[in-house]
Amino acid sequence: MSGILAELPLWVLAAAGGFTLLAGFVKGAVGFGMPMLMISGLATVLPAEVALAALILPTVVTNVFQSLRQGWRAAWQAIIAFRVYLIVLLITLSASAQLVNVLSQQALFIVIGVPVVGFSIMQLVGWTPTLHPKNRTRDEGLIAAVAGFFGGMSGVWGPPTVAYLTAIHTPKTEQMRVQGVLYGLGAVALVVAHTRSGVINAQTLPLSAAMLLPALAGMVVGGWFHDRMPQAAFKRVTLVVLVLAGLNLLRRGLMG
């Protein structure tokens, strides 16, 4: 073992692995939530920047598996279909990652959490937003810009993306694939950006690599549950997870 990994007590490593296993399970079941759950759990036993570094490799690898579950042709079709979202996301995510040590993370979590919780609760009680196809380019660009801006600084860009895919009634299998593609390429950009910002380095990289096994194990079990969920149940579970994720963001923003 090397770097920070060699210095951590066994109980901290066990706790980090447990948080990562749970995050992998949720990702396998609904296609998102890993960065949010990992950063929330890991930050209770690790410094914030170390927790952010630890989630990056598991996020990249699990999203590659998720995006290629139906083969590379299906993944490429997802890239073409959501190219505007992807381009804007990558640009804003890469740029805002350089502000990670400048802006208040507490304020960011509140700004992300409030609309996510509000949107998800309204969906759960029956409200359905209307996004007109003729405005798709504009809508995708705006939502991707928001997701990328906050994602670069916090490592969390899933909620706006999931909210958008849910709002346009994306089928379950396609939504999982699109999420994998968008998050996977975004995570690669995050690796590059945080290599430049110093978050990923020779000290933190071994810890991130150590989290790969529990992340993948959890994802396999979660995938088994996902395959057995009908579309309606998938949407409801997704919204419930969004509410919980949003409330957790608000907790972190208000309580630190």
Comparing 120-124, 153-157, 202-206, 247-251, the range with the smallest average pLDDT is 153-157
Over residues 145-170, the pLDDT tens digits come to: 988 887 777 666 777 788 788 888 88
pLDDT value for 16: 94
Whole-number mean pLDDT of the chain? 83
Q: Hey, what are 76's tokens?
A: 């490429």
Q: Is the dihedral of CA 59, 65, 67, 73 positive or negative?
A: positive
Q: What pLDDT score was predicted for residue 128?
A: 66
Confidence category of residue 11, pLDDT binned at 50, 70, 90: very high
Q: How confident is the model at residue 100 (pLDDT cuts 50, 70, 90)?
A: low
Q: How confident is the model at residue 2 (pLDDT cuts 50, 70, 90)?
A: low
The confidence score (pLDDT) of residue 219 equals 94
The pLDDT value recorded for residue 212 is 95
Sign for the CA dihedral angle at 184, 249, 255, 25 comes to negative
Q: Is the pLDDT of residue 12 over 80?
A: yes
Residues 76-92 have a mean pLDDT of 89
As a whole number, mean pLDDT of residues 57-61 equals 89
List, as one string, the DSSP characters of 113-180: HHHHHHHHHHHHTT------GGGHHHHHHHHHHHHHHHHHHHS--HHHHHHHHHHTT--HHHHHHHHH
H helices of the chain, in order, are 4-7, 10-30, 34-42, 48-67, 72-81, 83-96, 105-124, 136-154, 158-167, 172-197, 205-210, 212-227, 231-255
Q: What pLDDT is recorded for position 218?
A: 95
Best mean pLDDT range from 80-84, 170-174, 242-246:
80-84
Cα distance between residue 93 and residue 144, in whole Å: 9
**126-140 pLDDT per residue, tens:** 776 667 778 889 989
Contact 24, 218 (CB under 8 A): yes
